[in-house]
Structure 1
Amino acid sequence: MSARGGIIPYPIARQPWGMLIPLFLLVAFGAAVLYSAAGGSMDPYASSHLVRFGVFLVMASVIASLPRELVRLLTYPAYAIVLALLLLVEIIGQVNGGSQRWLNLGFMVLQPSEIMKPVIVVTLALFYSSLPVGLITGWRALLIPAALIGLPVSFVLLQPDLGTSLAILFGGAVVMLLAGLPLKWFIGGGLAAAAVAPVVFFFGLQDYQQRRILTMFDPEADPQGDGYHIIQSQIAIGSGGIFGKGFNNGSQSHLQYLPEPHTDFVFATMAEEWGLIGGLFVLGVFAVIMRWGLSVARASKDRFASLLAGGMTATIFFYVAVNLLMVMGFAPVVGIPLPFMSHGGSSMLTNMICIGALMMVNRWNRNAPRGGLSSQ
């Protein structure tokens, strides 16, 4: 079957190219930045970045082809499996950098907490799509989802990994908000969180986590210690100016002043060489992707698909917002990479799952009969 009079084959024409082409450009731009971060070499960052994207693009295509009934059938078992993997991390997980977050499966090293980010979204989307609308203000609409979120967040905090636990919490909370829970519950939850924040800070966080938060307010207080990351990142971003220093001419990353120039601080690496123009390009592409994700959610013909698309878009947004705030010194350094640009398999896996899920809902929308919003 073909589109446009047989000129373009239908399987190609039906793809959301308005999102995919900017995404491809962003990944290619990320590879160029990683090439520079490695001192002008495709290895070890840029080549593996492109290979991973290619592999996970195939995975996203498979996800996009899944039927609604199969997704609904597998959602709760998937949640149980990932939760079991998080428990297994606490027992036999691989320790790296003082954190116990990974499972060595032999053929790959898996970080289950990353997979939980999209899994919690689809789990809550299924729960609320199955809950009668009349019960949305009842205790069941709050307590059961709170438990579904609280269990994995507790395991992730034990690793410890504050950034990932906040990402899981954020994705779940967005689905709950979109599901129609009373706004007063969120306001009350926010006030309660603010009240217990000092207790959590002094008794619930590790020493290094406390220092990261305090350093955000005054990085100059420890310029050679905890404030070093933020200071060097701000120098790199500021020195890029409007047009940047030029491709492969970044001094902060090449002289190894900038820490993690290929992962958490890849935006600072990019901004030094490509300047404000490069930054606006990156922000523009993310705006296109998230605008498309929201349009998919709004166009959904049933509650499950709408909540699923909204939650996946929110998960990508969390990555982008926290990373950009972090590298500019407006948020603590919590180890959140920049989607589709940072080097790292776990981040690419999570965000491509989100892209695949959005493409899947987009396909459901195209095939849905015309009519009103369904509760299922």
Structure 2
Amino acid sequence: MKDFTVPRTARRLLRAEPNLRMFSRLWQINWFFVLLVCCLAGVGYVALYSAGGGRAESFAQPQLIRFCFGLLMMLGVALASPRVLRMLSVPIYGLSILLLALVLKMGHVGKGAERWINLGGFQFQPSEFAKIALVLMLSTWFYRIGRERMGNPLRLIIPALLTLLPVVLVLKEPNLGTATIVGVIGASLFFAAGMRWWQIIILVSPLPFLGPFIYNHLHDYQKARIDTFLHPERDPLGAGYNILQSRIALGAGGRWGQGYLHGTQGQLSFLPEKQTDFIFTMIGEEWGYVGGAVVIGLLFLITLSSMLIALRCRNRFGRLVGLGIAMDFFLYCVVNLSMVMGVIPVGGVPLPLISYGGSAMLTMMFGFGLLLSSWVHRDDPD
């Protein structure tokens, strides 16, 4: 009787199985979402080329290099399993807190605040990373306790502390805008995880009474931003300069804009921070209301796709991660657009994948990788 041996073809298939699984996972990535992200980054490249005065090396080229690196990172994270991400959530959260603490000790000062640390020649803003780390940490916590135990208030103490810690550290930089976004992201995950309505009412009821207390403890430049928002015309060449120039540029664009590379406010350097906070103003001036509406439509499509990806996920962890990333992107867009239009005070929040900046770009791409991981593993059981 001959010994049983595995055929050579079968042995090759067994050896190739991990690679086949990897290829299968790669094929399952939501490539329509990836296309939307690339289109938004393309808008950013075109806008930054104009912000650099028609020179790519000023802003557009460095941003393109960061995006290519971020794209590879996003696709790599998308292939990671939820189990691995849950295991890494605690170290990632701990690293984010450590970096936030380091900012207060050895941070780079810019515009009256310590927000950056130098990592091998790269200026990194830990508060951006902290938002993604918080999403991972809270999603892991709520996944482990389950929805049925959300009614126990004692179960909410630890996630509340996990949320408050980065909020307080970011406030001490000081960075009120980002701290508010971190807090709202945390609160949205509480709600998505199944927090009861009566618990939500108890939590938010003191907020209206905390307004005067918070205002009195703001830094002088933060109070000036609020006062300028209410009355920008009082100091048109000082504190009110940014928002007034932004309004002038948006109005000058009209329906079709002044033409690419021909915006007067942007090209003549009247528009402040045109490559970062006020990049949408430059788009509106050069491409008009129509161009601005197209960009807003693209931002809306990405937000909607993010929400649908999260809701399509059957397992609790992936769904919470997806909703947290979608909320992060949505808040970025709403705060920045409202800021440049004068609806809210200027807060230094960039427009994702369009504004110039490495920290916001790379952390957002990492977050999109987590979102795509939720899609790739959407049918995995809880």
TM-score range, shorter chain: over 0.9
Partner Cα distance (1:315, 1:172) in 2: 10
SS of the counterpart of 1:245? coil
Quote the residue 1:153 is aligned against. 167
Quote the residue 2:242 is aligned against. 229
Partner Cα distance (2:150, 2:125) in 1: 33
Partner Cα distance (2:361, 2:260) in 1: 24
CA drift of 1:41 comes to 1.0
Partner Cα distance (1:10, 1:245) in 2: 47
Quote the residue 1:263 is aligned against. 276
Quote the residue 1:4 is aligned against. none
Quote the residue 1:219 is aligned against. 232
**2:377 is aligned with 1:364:** yes
Runs of 4+ in 1 over 6 A off after TM superposition: 9-12
Q: Is the 8 A contact 1:19 1:288 kept in 2?
A: no
Residue 267 of structure 2 aligns with an amino acid whose one-letter code is H
Quote the residue 2:101 is aligned against. 87
Number of aligned residue pairs: 361
**2:263 is aligned with 1:287:** no
Q: 2:67 aligns with which of 40, 53, 68?
A: 53
CA drift of 1:132 comes to 3.4
Q: Is the 8 A contact 1:175 1:311 kept in 2?
A: yes
Q: Residues 21 and 163 (structure 1 numbering): CA distance in 2 closer, same or farther, change over 3 Å? A: same
* Identity %, equivalent residues: 37
Quote the residue 2:48 is aligned against. 34
Gaps (5+ residues) in structure 2?
Answer: 1-12, 14-22
**2:81 is aligned with 1:67:** yes
Partner Cα distance (2:313, 2:332) in 1: 24
Quote the residue 1:194 is aligned against. 208
Q: Is the 8 A contact 2:124 2:358 kept in 1?
A: no
Partner Cα distance (1:141, 1:220) in 2: 49
Quote the residue 2:311 is aligned against. 298
Quote the residue 2:9 is aligned against. none
Partner Cα distance (2:286, 2:106) in 1: 42
Quote the residue 1:6 is aligned against. none
Partner Cα distance (2:288, 2:204) in 1: 37
Per-residue deviation, residues 61-81 of structure 1 (Å, max 9, x unmatched): 111111111111110121112
Partner Cα distance (1:206, 1:149) in 2: 23
Q: 2:345 aligns with which of 332, 340, 343?
A: 332
Q: Residues 187 and 279 (structure 1 numbering): CA distance in 2 closer, same or farther, change over 3 Å? A: farther
Quote the residue 1:309 is aligned against. 322
Per-residue deviation, residues 199-232 of structure 1 (Å, max 9, x unmatched): 1101x21011011112112211221111111111
**2:157 is aligned with 1:143:** yes
SS of the counterpart of 2:206? helix
- TM-score, L = length of structure 1: 0.92
Residue 337 of structure 2 aligns with an amino acid whose one-letter code is L
Aligned pairs for 1:167-178 within 5 A: 167-178=181-192
Partner Cα distance (1:42, 1:132) in 2: 50
Identify the range of structure 1 (17-26 vs 58-67) with the bigger mean alpha-carbon deviation: 17-26
Residue 303 of structure 2 aligns with an amino acid whose one-letter code is M
CA drift of 1:273 comes to 0.3
Quote the residue 2:3 is aligned against. none
Partner Cα distance (1:308, 1:115) in 2: 15
Q: Is the 8 A contact 2:50 2:260 kept in 1?
A: yes
Partner Cα distance (1:164, 1:352) in 2: 18
Q: Is the 8 A contact 1:23 1:285 kept in 2?
A: no
SS of the counterpart of 2:180? helix
SS of the counterpart of 2:269? coil
**2:145 is aligned with 1:131:** yes
Partner Cα distance (2:375, 2:249) in 1: 39
Partner Cα distance (2:55, 2:183) in 1: 38
Partner Cα distance (1:28, 1:170) in 2: 29
Partner Cα distance (1:133, 1:114) in 2: 28
Quote the residue 2:331 is aligned against. 318
